[in-house]
Amino acid sequence: MLVVGAAGFGRASGTGITLSNLFAGWPRQRLAQLYAEDLEPDTDVCQRFLRLDPRSAPVEYHLFRWRARTTRGTSPGARNGSAVTGVGGVSAGGAGAGGAGVEPGPLRARMRAELRAFVDLSPLRVPADARRWLREQRPQVVYATLGSIRQMRLAVLAARECGVPLVPHFMDDWPSTLYADRQTLGVARRAVLAGVREVVRHSSYGLGISDPMAREYQRRYGLPFAAFGNCVDPTDFADRPGPARPAADGAVLDLVYVGGLHLDRWRSLRRVGEAVGRLAADGLRARLTVHAPPQDLARYGERLGLPGVRLGGSVASDEVAAVLRRADVLVHVESFAEEHRHYTRYSLSTKIPQYLAAGRPVLGFGPAELASMAHLDAAGAGAVVGVDDPARLAREVARLCGDPALRERLGRQGLDFAVRHHRADQVAARFAETLARAARRPVGPTPEPRHTPAGARVGPG
């Protein structure tokens, strides 16, 4: 198995975490990775790596060398910008992102988006020694995480070099949204659509992050699709939840959020914080604790400066399970803005399986049509507020906080669902079986079935 993409195995990103969990236990001598980000990958799952030389993307390489020389007084994350993502394609932050704490205005955001598209369109030159390394791995399948024009080009190149099927794994609906605002006069959007067609032409199977995505993409692209998201190590599952503590005797109930604040998630979190604050005036002792990456806290933390909100800092990946189990209620939010709900409609956040495995009730606040909200609802794990209605949100917060028996029941139902659907050992076995089928299947979409006239007989007999 050859894994190709921007992110390496590890715990530094949602993609890296998902990769590490899905491939955990894979025979190490049968796994290799070509990656692009400027981070050392973890070696607990895979031990054969090649990082694509940053000079393979000369435009991006020289652009960010120039930015490194000229940028002063910003944090390392802001200074590196998309250099962390590297040759595989510019990150969501995009080239030219402002420093920590700076929210770009419309003109600056537009310029950043144009530069991002220009960099993504720029040439990618994979040297002969890298191509030779790809062939030497002798994979049966190339598995690829995508998200940019150059990531698609790199995945197709790897599959061609090795002469094997490609299996793309889609984790957001970026094929529908990437450069849809006609950056570079529409050239980048046309390149995205052409790149997706080329990926499908070289693929034997596809993977989506959720069941709704797998169903939609199978219809859209004519390939068989299966759903695989993040999974949870059995050791990180909570014990059977005991009695939930009542909101009495001076105890402060803790609603806990762990995750990023980008894609306007901070706005939805602020709504939750406002609801908690209003209920506090009526005597409810509760608070919202937010754990997020340092760069997100620096940029958006002031926006969450409310009496009912506590910024709890960042949490290391090996500390997440314990933090979740200590919460009274876990919080998952998504943006109600149209451009964000379109991008995230089929997404399933990395943390949702972790939330369910923690055995705690979940408050979901985001558009009801999103796959993440539907997943929480199907798990019976909590209260989902699918409309941007402050009064309804406040009622659900009060209901969860005021009813210990309800919190206990919802937490138990979520844990049972996670045991059935998100245990890493079970998911990894199904994942390996799917990739084995992909290795045996011919590439390209399945032809549309011919129309059978009404009354015609189909099949033997």
- Say yes or no: 93 and 201 in one domain: yes
Do 25 and 86 share a domain, yes or no? yes
Does residue 429 belong to any structural domain of this protein?
no
Do both 405 and 342 map to the same domain?
yes
Question: Whole domain around residue 154: which residue ranges?
Answer: 2-227
pLDDT of residue 356 exceeding 50, the answer is: yes
What confidence score (pLDDT) does residue 376 get?
A: 97
- The total number of structural domains that make up the chain: 2
Q: What CATH number does the domain containing 61 carry?
A: 3.40.50
Please tell me the predicted confidence (pLDDT) of residue 354.
97
Kindly report, residue by residue over 77-91, the tens digit of the pLDDT: 333 333 334 555 544
Identify whether the C-beta of residue 132 lies closer than 8 Å to the C-beta of residue 161: no
Residues 152, 250 within the same domain? no
Query: Domain for residue 458, yes or no?
Result: no
Strand order in the sheet with 32-35: 49-51, 32-35, 2-4, 142-145, 166-170, 206-208, 225-227
Q: Is residue 445 part of a domain?
A: no
* Claim to verify: residue 393 and residue 410 sit in the same structural domain: yes
Whether residues 181 and 240 share a domain: the answer is: no
- Residue at a domain's end among 389, 404, 420: 420
pTM here? 0.86
pLDDT digits (tens, 9 = 90+) for 369-398: 999 999 999 999 999 999 999 999 999 999
pLDDT tens digits for 287-345?
A: 999 999 999 999 999 999 999 999 998 999 889 999 999 999 999 999 999 989 989 99
Last residue of a domain, one of 227, 245, 273: 227
In total, the chain counts a number of residues equal to 461
Last residue of a domain, one of 403, 420, 437: 420
